[in-house]
Structure 1
């Protein structure tokens, strides 16, 4: 099951590993993505830290760690094909996998219904 942050990242958890990306809503607002500055494997981030930057034809956007943990894998396909995020933001366009250090942080994230409502209220 996916959970969403107010800053438009999604998390899908298997065991202690969280796969992280940006929501379809976020990629739609960014427009055509031209570059992804991937996080560093082995580096630890706290929830809320900037762990990646995505550049689109419109702007550069910081992507925040939705949970605390250590990056164990990045989607290297995004180096040569950043548009994968536009094509499948919540699937093949994932950004990184992290080993979660504080699972209770998942409780502060939204389910899909709450996230949709958040996006509507945001305008």
Structure 2
């Protein structure tokens, strides 16, 4: 059974989104379910800091020993940070997907909502 924290929101594409900070920045990563399906992560292609993304845009990819998977932006906004530690230790996505394995941060665009994302309960139902 995958670990699905109740305090996060989720996308149908298996990204998690932490609640916005006071400055409107959210942290994003891939779920435990997704990292388990991928297998051992060996490389992460980061989005470009400063770029503007729309919800649903492909912003990077995660490469594992099994496959390559696109990373999608679950919300619209500006990329403000990427987890550069993953350049040296991409397997942190496998060992700590909700902590050290986070992928990038986005400053939410005006009007960009997280309400349309899945709750932990809804995501649990999606992944079975």
Bucket of the pairwise TM-score, normalised by the shorter protein: over 0.9
Unaligned runs of 5+ in 1: none
Q: What SS is found at the alignment partner of 1:91? A: coil
Unaligned runs of 5+ in 2: 1-6
Per residue, is there more strand in 1 or in 2?
A: 1
**In structure 2, distance between residues paired with 1:103 and 1:54:** 29
1:11 equivalent among 11, 17, 21: 17
**In structure 1, distance between residues paired with 2:8 and 2:111:** 14
1:67, 1:102 within 8 Å by CA — same for their partners in 2?
Answer: no
**How large is the RMSD of aligned CA atoms in angstroms?**
1.0
| TM-score normalised to structure 2 length | 0.90
Closer/same/farther in 2, CA of residues 102 and 10 from structure 1, 3 Å limit: farther
Closer/same/farther in 2, CA of residues 103 and 9 from structure 1, 3 Å limit: farther
Per residue, is there more helix in 1 or in 2?
A: 1
| TM-score normalised to structure 1 length | 0.94
Q: What SS is found at the alignment partner of 2:118? A: coil
CA deviations 1:62-113 (Å, max 9, x no partner) are 0100000101111000011000000101111000011000454311101111
Map 1:1-123; keep pairs closer than 5 Å. Answer: 1-12=7-18, 13-15=20-22, 16-120=24-128
2:77, 2:112 within 8 Å by CA — same for their partners in 1?
Answer: no
Runs of 4+ in structure 1 over 3 Å off: none
